[in-house]
Amino acid sequence: MFSDQRLAELNQPLLAEHQTQFQHLAESPRLRQVDVQAVVQKLIDFQVAIPSWALGTGGTRFGRFALGGEPSTLEQKISDVGILQALNRSSNSISLHIPWDIPQDIPGLKQLLKEQGLVIDSVNSNTFQDQKDQPQSYKFGSLSHTEKAVREQAIQHNIDCVRHGRDLDAKTLTVWLADGSNFPGQSHLRRAFLRTQESLAAIYEAMPSDWTMLVEYKPYEPNFYSMVIPDWGTSLALCQAIGQNAQVLVDLGHHLPNTNIEQIVGRLRQFGRLGGFHFNGSMYGDDDLTTGSIKPYQLFLIFNELVDAAVDQSVPAEAVAYMIDASHNVKDPLEDLLQSVENILSSYAKALLVDRDALNEAQEANDVVRAEEILRDAFLTDVRPLVSEAYRQSGGALKPLAAYRAEGVREQLIRQRGKHSVSTGL
């Protein structure tokens, strides 16, 4: 849909203004000590996985307002992510949800992925719903269930997810549990944890040795009295008990209000146990809104911890998987994902501009105001020219969202797939 020639045509009217803005920023006193091209290259190298479940309109438990032209097959979802990747060159991987997106034609899917310049990087299991003809119910839990048959079914589902992932060369399994209780006394809290640990260990043992298990946590929803894995400490304890390739996944929406997420990120990096992120925006809880739309300063502070850890020799070097986890109930999903990726790159760019030496000096001197101002100075820098330059140098659109709208992509998808085409799994 977006050939190199068409992208060049869309960029041409914007090029002169962009170059002026980029040059102005690059030569500003603020960036005098910054290797601007090195920052741009880091933005080019940064990739964010797109989840297969986020390509259709989401909703609430009260209703869903379909947009039309949604991808109803895995092949169509790959094509949609291909559109995003063509525009921003920062979305080269897909996170699959099983059983919503079980791969069938493996050779055909691999060929399509190659044509679109994409890979499948991870698979996500689903034991928070009962599927059609499923023998055992997850109403009262899955990996933590009191009945062995239910636990074995959930374990086997996760092993099946790994098998599907191996077919498409993925190397990561993400596990999120809805297990918990709604009322005091409903569940034995310690035994539920131990059963979960035993179940996760069985899955881990069945995984290939070069795979990573990401263990997600959530303080509430769907259970409101207790969750088996409610916080990063519980997830960390499970990972430490299971094995080195078990890592904590931080979902930005899975925290109680006012939680210091950046401190959690810093600690997990120090422990060598930060495996990945699910990016989204949150006002109250697990809202799954556009990343950076509600708390942009917090997103910047999270990236500040990531950048700081990356240059600290005392912090274990580890790969971190970056993924988006969002629900678009009033937006075009592809537009929302373009916004999210741009907000993520902008926060990363700002964190790369922090004067580390000056910040360390201010922190060691307990100069509170100076330390805060150093961070604020980076956060308030308009880094959009840097992000646009990264798009340009990597062959994408200077303004991906504007290009998407200029081409009438959603209208084209509606014509191709129909007004009532609905994405799978939602």
Res 381: pLDDT: 98
pLDDT surpasses 60 at 422: yes
pLDDT surpasses 70 at 83: yes
Mean pLDDT of all residues in 184-191? 98
Mean pLDDT of all residues in 215-243? 97
pLDDT surpasses 70 at 267: yes
Beta bridge partners of 362: none
pLDDT surpasses 70 at 137: yes
For residue 39, give both structure tokens.
């920052």
- Rounded Cα distance between 317 and 212, Å, is 15
Percent of the chain clearing pLDDT 90 (strictly above): 93
* 322-354 pLDDT, tens digit each: 999 998 889 999 999 999 999 999 999 999 999
List the one residue out of 216, 243, 242 whose CA is nearest residue 229: 216
Mean pLDDT of all residues in 183-205? 98
- Rounded Cα distance between 192 and 178, Å, is 12
Res 426: pLDDT: 57
Mean pLDDT of all residues in 256-263? 96
Q: What confidence tier does 121 reach under pLDDT thresholds 50, 70, 90?
A: very high
Instruction: Give me the chain's average pLDDT, please.
Output: 96
- The answer to whether 138 and 180 have CB atoms below 8 angstroms apart is no
Beta bridge partners of 250: 277
- Rounded Cα distance between 255 and 14, Å, is 40
Q: At what angle do helices 261-271 and 232-242 cross, to 10 degrees?
A: 10
pLDDT surpasses 60 at 294: yes
Mean pLDDT of all residues in 4-18? 98
pLDDT surpasses 70 at 84: yes
For residue 274, give both structure tokens.
């930060």
pLDDT surpasses 90 at 66: no
Return all residues near 319 (Cβ < 8 A) that are at least 6 apart.
none
pLDDT surpasses 90 at 318: no
Mean pLDDT of all residues in 399-408? 98
Mean pLDDT lowest among 139-148, 179-188, 309-318: 309-318
List the one residue out of 113, 76, 43, 73 whose CA is nearest residue 341: 43
Amino acid identity for residue 365 in this structure: A
pLDDT surpasses 60 at 295: yes
- What does the H/E/C string look like for the chain? CCCHHHHHHHHHHHHHHHHHHHHHHHCCHHHCCCCHHHHHHHHHHCCCEEEHHHCCECEECCEECCCCCCCCCHHHHHHHHHHHHHHHCCCCEEEEECCCCCCCCHHHHHHHHHHHCCEEEEEECCCCCCCCCCCCCCCCCCCCCCCHHHHHHHHHHHHHHHHHHHHCCCCEEEECCCCEECCCCCCCHHHHHHHHHHHHHHHHHHCCCCCEEEEECCCCCCCCCEECCCCHHHHHHHHHHHCCCEEEEEECCCCCCCCCHHHHHHHHHHHCCEEEEEECECCCCCCCECCCCCCHHHHHHHHHHHHHHHCCCCCCCCCCEEEECCCECCCCHHHHHHHHHHHHHHHHHHHHCCCHHHHHHHHHCCCHHHHHHHHHHHHCCCCHHHHHHHHHHCCCCCCHHHHHHHCCHHHHHHHHHCCCCCCCCC
Which residue matches tokens 């592809």? 334
Res 72: pLDDT: 94
* 356-387 pLDDT, tens digit each: 999 999 999 999 999 999 999 999 999 999 99
Q: Which residue has the higher pLDDT, 414 or 59?
A: 414
Res 61: pLDDT: 65
**Cα–Cα–Cα angle for 2, 6, 12, rounded to 5 degrees:** 130
- The answer to whether 101 and 127 have CB atoms below 8 angstroms apart is no
